Amino acid sequence: MIGKSLLHYRIVSKIGAGGQGTVYEAVNTTLGRTVVLKVLPPELTANEVNLERFEREARLASALDHPNICAIHDLALDGDVHFIIMQHVAGSNVRELVNGRPLALKSALSIAIQVCDALAAAHERGIIHRDIKANNVMVTKDGKVKILDFGLAKLLDQHPTNPSSDEAKHLTEIGTPYGTATYAAPEQAQGLPADARADVFSTGVLLYEMLVGRWPFDGKTAIDVRYAVLNQTPRRLAEARPNPVPPQLQEILDRAMAKAPDERYQKISEMRDELRKVLRQLEFEDDPAFEEEVLPSAPRHLARQGKLTRSIDSVAARTGVSRKALTFASLTLAALMIIPVLILVAARYKAIPGTATGEGVALRLHGSNTIGAKLAPALAEAFLRKEGATNVRTVNGANPDEATVSGLLPGNSAPTMIEISSHGSATAFVDLIGKAADVGLSSRKIEPLEIQKLATLGDMTSPSSEHILGLDGIAVIVNRANSIDALTREQVAKIFSGEVTEWNQVQGAPAPIKVYARDDKSGTFDSFKTLVLDKRSLISNAMRFEDSVALSDAVAGDPNGIGFIGLPYIRDAKAIAIAEGNAPPLLPNTLTVSTEDYILSRRLYLYTPAHSANVWLSKFLDFALSNAGQQIVGENGFVAQTVKSESTAVAANAPLEYKRLTDGAERVSLDFRFRRGGKDLDNKARLDLDRVVSFVADLKFSGQNILLFGFADDGLGNDLEISKERAQLVAEQFKRRGIEPAVVTGFGSLIPLASSSTEEGKEKNRRVELWLKK
């Protein structure tokens, strides 16, 4: 469509795409005005319901005349192409402004108040939005908010009993969840009727995201997110935001995001008025972060200098004292105030001898960037808070792959610090050998040569040295219109290395493939190289991205695009299933990654000396592997080792007996695996046994609910016997814990997950599945 025209609108560029249409920037060639066109996908115009909803969007939104609502100019038809002409808003949406970090307090409040103001005007006209989210809230350079896309709006006075309104009967069907899962109110998540109070909930989610830098409800799939919306309570602002906020804000958020609509603000204007009160209280407070955001082109010291200059001019005008004298006096006073502070800082750091060389550091976490970039600092902060520390913060070093987390423990005059260095998994073992690290962070299993070099620290593959922190999975994504639903790992490798350049080479439509990838600093890219590219190099003309959201949105908007991304960032793109060898293709989700069935899943490791004199080490490990630590693993986009069960489809080529036994049962979110080359359970399986026992006990189940199915890798000759033996080994461990499984059997090398031609593939296939018959 780029370069083409619809009527007298010439399309300049594509802005984005969603379930209700593709959005383009265009120029009105008659008036010379830049506008935005929203085009309904051609394949949906034949659907009367979708077409009516699309036309209704224009009618509803055009009736709203408010400075914080994007204006609708016209609804048009060119041939069989239906489109809306909308106001062009120059600026950034809230998702782009947040980008994983909290906004300044006053900025977040200002945006939220304007959103509330716009929604209040819409609600007074009987219109609700039902899809308030960060992508739908634009902020101009002068701080003006514009709400986009009333495409899911519904007239409040429409009722199924109204004979003049068929829209109420079929445009908004009971049981159909509208809105984006992360922001949707509980009633929307359940497909129930939603009124204006759903907008209140979504605005609360938006405000939380701006204050914290992340969503209050998160998950790997829409189902996970909806479960969180319905059942979980977001982390308190005092824990989730690095800088303090007025306590009234927590009360506002609690009320706005109440699960029951009756417990929320009944009018969005009530929420707006309370936010205005908080903002007024802050008007005379200094918020340097706000200065940086309002004046992004000016350094902070210039913003403060401007305040000082205006204050001096004001005093000079009122008192008659010369401006020069006042300036000298203010500088002298500032110097006198800062000297004691400098003395105090110097004394504090003198109390920690050798801080620069690490002598005052409690723990040193070195290695993988995948773990060290965000997850390790988040764990370190939470760990220090659990130990009672206050003023906990992360300070980045001069090198972007280094940081220090510090906090002040009760009774200490100097901060306790945790050093994080994330220069790659290989450095974990180098630094452990050189005694420069207490914990080695690794996104791969330790290699045989490294095991030998670290032998003086103990057996690094033993449970006392090898600890599984969590699991990671990479999704391969394409545009939703792409006909490709599955690829083999080899095909993916050939596409990203440039050996395959056309979609028809992998049974797709004839079109050139456009590759999108994260940049070299990304832990996701590091994972992708290990799991897919191996010794191949990424194609030189790949589009590289620092931001996961930007990459995902770019692929979603490119019919010929393909990229890879962490599970939380699939968004509007389509994840494709990945297969290897004779194994069926699998889609990435919480279950397939947590069971490690998905071929692009991997473990994240913590390696430590078998014996250490550092008292902080065991405390940190216990916390990282605890439920609290695993919650943080999940919050940072990885798959935590929490036990769940859910219904799942059985492979079509599975044995009839397997299908019979699993009929009506739920798959537990882990598989038991074995040490390389042996029949002993690996280190993860040992801990998983205790997790499963607690899970089963909490559900008040017994061994009669447990089914164990063993599997072996292909080509051993006695596959069936080995698979049964493995299932029996796990059953014995359950018996020692007071639980006797109802079914213990094996299926040999059937239902492989990967090719047994590689050692990694064999390890995937050597497993014992756990099912629950409820």
Lowest mean pLDDT among 163-167, 192-196, 226-230: 163-167
Once rounded to an integer, what is the mean pLDDT over residues 718-740? 91
Residue 413: per-residue pLDDT = 85
**What pLDDT does residue 322 have?**
58
Catalytic residue among 65, 78, 80, 131: 131
Record: fold of 92-284 = Transferase(Phosphotransferase); domain 1 (1.10.510)
679 touches 729 (CB < 8 A): yes
The CA distances from residue 215 to 394, 589, 693, in Å, are 20, 19, 32
pLDDT in tens, 662-693: 999 999 988 998 876 667 888 888 888 988 88
Does the 360-465+608-630 domain belong in CATH 3.40.190.10?
Answer: yes
Please name the residue that has the structure tokens 């990654």: 593
Quote the mean pLDDT of the chain: 82
Distance between CA atoms of 610 and 626, rounded to whole angstroms? 20
Yes or no: say if 69 and 61 are a contact pair by the CB < 8 Å rule.
yes
pLDDT tens digit string along 316-364?
Answer: 554 555 555 555 565 555 555 555 444 444 443 333 333 333 346 899 9
Q: From its phi and psi, is residue 182 left (phi > 0), alpha (psi between -120 and 50) or beta?
A: alpha
The confidence score (pLDDT) of residue 71 equals 82
Query: What pLDDT score does 546 carry?
Result: 76
Query: Domain ranges in the chain?
Result: 5-87, 92-284, 300-350, 360-465+608-630, 472-594, 643-773
Active site residue 131: yes
Rounded to the nearest 5 percent, the helix, strand and coil shares of the chain are 40, 20, 40
Predicted local confidence at residue 713, as pLDDT: 83
Q: CATH number of the domain at 5-87, out of 3.30.200.20, 3.30.43.10, 3.30.70.370, 3.40.50.970?
A: 3.30.200.20
Quick one: pLDDT band at residue 20, thresholds 50, 70, 90? low
Percent with pLDDT over 90 in the chain:
41
Instruction: Give the pairing type, strands 439-442 and 361-367.
Output: parallel
Report yes or no: 557 and 17 within 8 Å, Cβ to Cβ: yes
In which residue are the tokens 């423990």 written?
A: 409
| Tokens found for residue 426 | 């290989």
The CA-atom distances, in angstroms, between 542 and each of 15, 510, 535, 643, 774 are 20, 19, 17, 38, 48
Query: At a CB cut-off of 8 Å and minimum separation 6, what does 615 contact?
Result: none
Token pair for residue 364? 């040193």
Mean pLDDT along residues 637-644: 86
Decide: helix, strand or coil at residue 578.
strand
Sign of the torsion formed by the C-alpha atoms of 244, 248, 253 and 254: positive
pLDDT over 70 percentage in the chain? 82
Query: Highest mean pLDDT range out of 61-70, 202-211, 286-295?
Result: 202-211
Tens-place pLDDT, residues 380-413: 999 999 999 999 999 988 777 899 999 999 988 8
> From the CB of residue 732, how many other CB atoms can be counted at a distance below 10 Å?
12
Confirm whether 5-87 and 92-284 share one CATH topology.
no
Q: Is the pLDDT of residue 164 over 70?
A: no
pLDDT attached to residue 294: 35
What's the CATH code, domain 643-773?
A: 3.30.1330.60
Predicted pLDDT of residue 306: 43
Look up the CATH number of domain 472-594.
3.40.190.10
Do 586 and 577 meet the contact criterion of CB atoms below 8 Å apart? yes
pLDDT digits (tens, 9 = 90+) for 5-14: 999 999 988 8
3-class DSSP assignment, residue 323: helix
**Tokens standing for residue 343:** 């003395």
Tens of pLDDT, residue by residue over 126-138, are 888 888 999 889 9
- DSSP three-state, residue 389: coil
